[in-house]
Amino acid sequence: MHRNGADSPASIPASSQSGFHRNGADSPASIPASSQSGVHRNGADSPASIPTASQSGFHRSGTESPDSIPTSSPPGPYRDGTDAPASIPTASQSSFRRNGTTLRRISVPELPTPAPQPQDEVILGIDLGTTNSRAAVFVDGVAKLVPLSADGRTVSLPSVVALDEKERFLVGARAKAQILIDPINTVFGAKRLMGRRARSRHVREVSKRFPWKIVADPEGDAGVELRGKTFSLPEIASKLLGTLKDAAQTWVGRVIHRCVLCVPAYFNDHQRSALLQAGRLAGLEVMRIFNEPSAVALAYGYGRGLARKRVLVYDLGGGTFDASIVEITGDDLDVVATGGDNFLGGMDFDLRVADELNRALEHDTHVVPDGSLHSLQRIRDAAEQAKITLSDVERTAVHVPFASTLPDGSPVDLRTELTRQTLEGLTADLVERTVETTLAVLQAANLGSQSIDEVLLVGGQSLAPLVHRRMAEALGRPTRSDVDPHGAVALGAAILGHALARQEKGRTGVVLSEILSLPIGIGVKGGGMKKVLDRNTRLPAEKTLTLPVKAGVPLGVAVFQGDAGTAEDNEYLGSLQLSPERSGEANLRFILSPDGLLQVTAQSPGARTEVTLATSDASEAIRQAVWANAPLPGEEEGGNAREGGLFGGIRRLFGRR
């Protein structure tokens, strides 16, 4: 079950999923588009009596045209092709004379109208990006991006949320317009911090880049202070999700209850749980947390009938980077290996260009940047636009009005020029970090570049020419550019949502095999971390760890996730504290759902009750107590990971102490 207490549909293995619409009827939409024939525009199944391909004549409403019924057909069949039962009234006849001729009057009763067929449930696929977010739905046999403007041309929602003077939330473009006007009450780029502990090193480092104030929320996670009030980042994200949901409902004309949410493959358990909470706050039931590279692979391969193709997905977005190797067979996905960096993306490229513009300002005008929030944001906006432009041209002019001020308050403008060569010199090391991570993923999978069939580059920053060149050089093969770099993630999420809905009705869908992106372990005395579940563990998974305990001696277990050798440098997930009444062995069960969400329980010797993982950030006193009672290195005895099992009853805990 989710931490919100609701059952997680996604946690049921695909092979065992079955179900029905909430109204109890099977969804007709689960028939593959390629095999459908005669489907009405209103979404109902075509009756069996609709003429074959050689016949013509349908009403626009989707009902049969009387013209299309062959004259040789016997009268009075039901629309489903069965004979009318005797209880249906037949035509009555009477006669009258006109001009000396006897004529018959035939009164034909109306046949009962069959009940309308239930419409398919629309599942929303969402890509909650660091800089822009998108949504897609699977309709008319294909996945389509949801338009966000009246003309249908806008499909991207800026991932910006602001709180105005009347304490009303502004979302998207309206909020983005507030960055220059009211930067301290406008939140952008928050995805990097979602689900991160406020005290963590990562949050402390990144917080210097944002004008808005980062504070601890009630659970100890990074939150934001707007107009004197504290908001959790899931609350902020829910405003974006709600806007996408509303736009999708308006477009399809249907109420949407469920969604598939995408996350970077390198998101840890706590970050995934935070996104799950954001979906719940937006009024959405999250069917599945889906890794972004896997979504890209699904969007690329779905419906193409590929015969076992191994693809490398390179996803360099606005705030994060992922690289994954995915094997595609038909519509089935098998993730082989993954890697990434949650603090490397287009925003980092923007900052490099902004620093260069600040240097140009000081050199050309002899004015030191004043460091005001408004000036900094103007320069960052100009840096981002120049970076984007240089993906298409070799040089571009940059003009930043009011880039700084003189001591007397007079404004100073920046006018300069940037070249692609300069940009690539400024960001070459960032691109190299992505290349090194990609090669490490190949090495982890024991694969050479010659084993890769296709290289898919997605994410806005992947459009940079330097990225294409370096990846082609490093892998010795060309990269594909025919995959939508901006929309592929949302499209893949919509496809998975459609497939999961089919599987709930016992029909074939996508078989998805994901892996754990970051190892999970426990803290041991001395500050180290003992791994319990390794990176690239196949999901779902379960492992039991046995620890010796003594009667009356408390045992504290802190759970972490990450690659660092020391526990404190990894992400703290929560802790358990046992007070065994007798000596023996305590069993710790680590259970991973197909979404990569973790549940940990512990049982003392002879005890009938279990202790569950407390996920709120602990106070310093509690943390010290946990470390004091932590197991010594080498005390633990691990069991083997057991894949599969029944995961329908997995509970997710939010803020439970």
pLDDT at 61 over 80: no
* Strand partners for 521: 531, 560
Alpha-carbon span 457 to 462, nearest angstrom: 6
Asked if the structure places residue 350 within a domain, the reply is no
Give SS3 for 544.
strand
Asked if the structure places residue 603 within a domain, the reply is yes
- Give the tens place of pLDDT for each residue, 27-46: 443 334 433 433 343 444 44
Give SS3 for 496.
helix
Please say whether the beta carbons of 502 and 557 come within 8 A: no
What rounded mean pLDDT belongs to the chain?
Answer: 81
Please say whether the beta carbons of 125 and 187 come within 8 A: no
Mean pLDDT across the stretch 73-93?
42
pLDDT at 86 over 50: no
For residue 90, name the pLDDT band (cuts at 50, 70, 90): very low
Mean pLDDT across the stretch 514-538?
93
Please say whether the beta carbons of 607 and 581 come within 8 A: yes
Instruction: Provide the token pair at 13.
Output: 């293995």
pLDDT at 393 over 50: yes
pLDDT for 407 equals 85
pLDDT at 88 over 50: no
pLDDT at 25 over 70: no
- Of the candidates 346, 322, 337, which has an alpha carbon nearest to the alpha carbon of residue 262? 322
How would you classify the pairing of strands 454-458 and 598-603?
unpaired
Asked if the structure places residue 432 within a domain, the reply is no
pTM for the predicted model, two decimal places: 0.76
* Strand partners for 323: 314, 339
pLDDT for 103 equals 53
Structural domains of the chain, count = 1
SS (H, E, C) 501-514: HHHHCCCCCCCEEC
pLDDT for 612 equals 76
- Angle between helices 346-365 and 373-389 in degrees, nearest 10: 110
For residue 577, name the pLDDT band (cuts at 50, 70, 90): confident
Give me the residue label for tokens 């996508």: 510
- Of the candidates 233, 232, 235, 259, which has an alpha carbon nearest to the alpha carbon of residue 245? 259
pLDDT at 127 over 80: yes
Q: What H or E segment, with its residue span, contains residue 357?
A: helix 346-365
pLDDT at 97 over 90: no
pLDDT for 94 equals 54
Asked if the structure places residue 598 within a domain, the reply is yes
Mean pLDDT across the stretch 461-470?
97
pLDDT for 270 equals 94
pLDDT for 18 equals 38
Asked if the structure places residue 372 within a domain, the reply is no
* Strand partners for 467: none
Instruction: Provide the token pair at 307.
Output: 């015969």
- Does 198 or 614 have the greater pLDDT score? 198
pLDDT at 459 over 50: yes
Q: Can you give the CATH number for the domain in which 543 is found? A: 2.60.34.10
* Strand partners for 157: 133
Non-local (6+) Cβ contacts of 614 within 8 A are 574, 575, 576, 653, 656, 657
pLDDT at 66 over 80: no
Asked if the structure places residue 414 within a domain, the reply is no
Asked if the structure places residue 631 within a domain, the reply is yes
pLDDT at 12 over 80: no
Mean pLDDT across the stretch 128-135?
98
Asked if the structure places residue 620 within a domain, the reply is yes
Domain limits at 594?
A: 520-643
